[in-house]
Structure 1
Amino acid sequence: MKNACILGFLILLFTEINLAQSTKNYPKADISFLVMGDFGRHGEYNQKEVANQMAITGTEADIDFIITTGDNIYPKGVASPLDPAWKSSFEDIYVGHSLHVNWYPVLGNHDYAGNPQAEIDYSQISRRWNMPARYYSKTYKLSDDSQLLIAFLDTSPFELGYYQDEDEPFRTQVASQDTSAQKKWFSDLMTSSKAQWKIAVGHHPLVTSGPRMDRKNHVANSWQSLLEKVGVDFYLAGHEHHLEYNQLSPKLNHLISGAGSKITALKSTDKAKFAKSSNGFAAFFIQPKVLEFQFIDDKGNTIFSQQIKK
């Protein structure tokens, strides 16, 4: 009996040591959050595997919130706030305790193919889905009383090709938006802010190593110079189904996190600091003078990290 007790104790001790060793030491942060996009496929295409790893990372990094970079529900968004796809593509997939924090989404083109307003209205049903409008902002205080400002953009109306789309409801939804008003809102928000860190989130990337890299980029033409002018530190996007980091200027960093489910092959990585066709997401860790982000794949491996200092 005594030997059995000793053996049981040793097994328990060994298990606890292994669990401790498996826990990552994430950077110290005032604010930490995950960024993931192009995901809602009813659990298929490794969506569940990404969700499970997000839950593990969320616990270990003690995240404050989650950002989505759009295309939240495939293939054509949702019909209403009561659409069954909310359950099969969101609620039943992101079940980990650490994922029951505030989610801040943006709309993608696939969301526009359904009922975009329904994704806003779902905020009144779900405690964690927080989308007050098609574009909006959030401000967070850091430990030295400086601020983190995040602007969530609606980029589909800036993609001119959508105005000739053969799907009439989609075309009408996109064309109904006032792009000048959105850019004025964004410019006023950023220029009036003294935030230490400024982040913008939109669905469409400004550059890509993915299959769309040779297409004319209307969103970049509309937004890149303005992002640089108002001092945005990071632009976060999806649309392309991979993970990528670029530095577009000494100030403007660019990240694609669109690998929440189905991934696509890269076309060329010559201009990227990092690009990989892999399921996964990004984790951000922000202090007043240091910002660090990591790309984490669906197996929990940190496949790239970058630190920015001020």
Structure 2
Amino acid sequence: MKRLIILILASVISLSILFFVFSKHQETKKYLQNNTVLIQHSYILMGDTGTGNSNQSEVAEGVKSYCSFTQNCKAVFMLGDVIYDEGVTGIKDEQFLTKFEKPYADISLPFYILFGNHDYIGCTSCYLEYDKLSTKWEIPARFYLQNYKSVSFYAIDTENFDNEQKSWLINQLSQNSSKWKIVLGHRPIKTFEETKLNEKWNGDEELKKILCNFADFYISGHSHILEDAGQVENCRVRQFISGTGGSYPRNVKKPYEGKFYFEDNGFLALTVSGKNIRFEFFDKTGNSLYNFTAEK
């Protein structure tokens, strides 16, 4: 009898867990079901990750849960500040393990790395060298292009947005025939996070002009929030921010003037399906918070 009761309780618990997992993804599930034939891939985007604390581990679990549920994740893009507080001191720095390899050990995807201001404090060349040692850490150059079917990601270095990089970005954006052109960087062009509001950085105006002329979306970190800041002023480009992949969240200026914000840890998932591209924010447990869909 005791064994039977234990088996029944175990079954009830298992069913409860399954119900919780499926219910918390209900809206995402509905979208995927309605676009089964058209779905290509999902891409995870998150910045300000490398703290090595429980926030980072919990977000990693949320990403794992999402990708296990959708079964269509193609890659993860790390939007800078990959290792806090001062980057790494050398190629054998233990932080590569404690703040990257271990937290994401259960996510079998390539992780495309971008530089952030905290990464620049340490050995930046070590990031490029570590690409040769890790099976998932990917950073082929300081700035680079990742092409997929219907969508192209332009990973830039906002800590050193020099003339070489500006010319490269203009050429790549103008010559690429991809349906969706998405530029990724660490520092935002537009945000309402209190500590980054109206922050200026070297090259921001030049980047804004390039984005407005050639790109569809700009996604960054740096602001420690999740945010759809809306369209950049006098521009068609929309700014998304995913800056709480492990960092301590901050607040936005109130009253809020953007489209959406979340002052806690989480990540952004981008899904391409037919004519549509969908941006969906999730909290660290994988709960869907907000989504925006565009069509072309």
TM-score by length of 1: 0.84
Match of 1:56 among 65, 73, 84: 65
- 1:118 partner SS: helix
> Does 2:244 match 1:259?
yes
Q: Secondary structure at the match of 2:137?
A: coil
- SS of 1:306 mapped into structure 2: strand
Using the TM superposition, give the Cα deviation of residue 180 of structure 1 relative to its aligned residue in structure 2, in angstroms. 0.8
Compared CA separation, residues 18 and 224, structure 1 to 2 (3 A)? same
Unaligned 5+ runs, structure 2: none
Q: Which residue of 1 aligns with 2:198?
A: 214
Do the aligned residues in 1 keep the contact of 2:192 with 2:229 (CA within 8 Å)?
no
**Counterpart-to-counterpart distance in 1, 2:199 and 2:152:** 31
The answer to whether residue 263 in structure 2 is matched with residue 277 in structure 1 is yes
Choose which of 287, 293, 296 in structure 2 pairs with 1:307: 293
Structure 1 residue 7 displacement after superposition: 8.6
1:73 aligns with 2:83: yes
Matched, 1:19 2:18: yes
What is the aligned-residue RMSD (CA, Å)? Answer: 2.2
1:216 CA drift (Å): 3.0
- Paired AA for residue 214 in structure 1: N
**Could you tell me which residue of structure 1 aligns to residue 275 of structure 2?**
289
Instruction: Spell out, residue by residue over 1:61-80, the C-alpha distance to the aligned partner (whole angstroms, 9 max, x if none).
Output: 22111001100001111122
Q: Is the 8 A contact 1:43 1:88 kept in 2?
A: no
Q: Is the 8 A contact 2:61 2:285 kept in 1?
A: no
Which stretch of structure 1 is more off in the superposition, 28-37 or 9-18?
A: 9-18
Partner of 1:144: none
Compare 186-195 and 260-269 and name the one that shifted more.
Answer: 260-269
Shift of 1:10: 8.7
Consecutive unaligned residues of structure 1, counting only runs of 5 or more, are: 142-146, 159-178
Residues 61, 269 of structure 1: alpha-carbon distance in 2 compared, 3 angstrom cutoff: farther
Which amino acid in 2 is paired with 1:87? L
1:132 alignment counterpart: 140
Q: Identify which of 207, 220, 235 aligns with 1:223.
A: 207
**Residues 6 and 214 of structure 1: CA distance in aligned 2, closer, same or farther (over 3 Å):** closer
Letter in 1 for 2:100: F
Report the AA paired with residue 81 of structure 1: I
Q: Which secondary structure state, in structure 2, belongs to the residue aligned with residue 60 of structure 1?
A: helix
User: Offset of 1:287 from its aligned partner?
Assistant: 1.8
Cα distance change, pair 82–226 in 1 and its aligned pair in 2 (3 A): same
CA distance in 2, matches of 1:246, 1:254: 6
Structure 2 residue 120 is the aligned partner of structure 1 residue 120: no
Percentage of matched positions with identical amino acids: 29
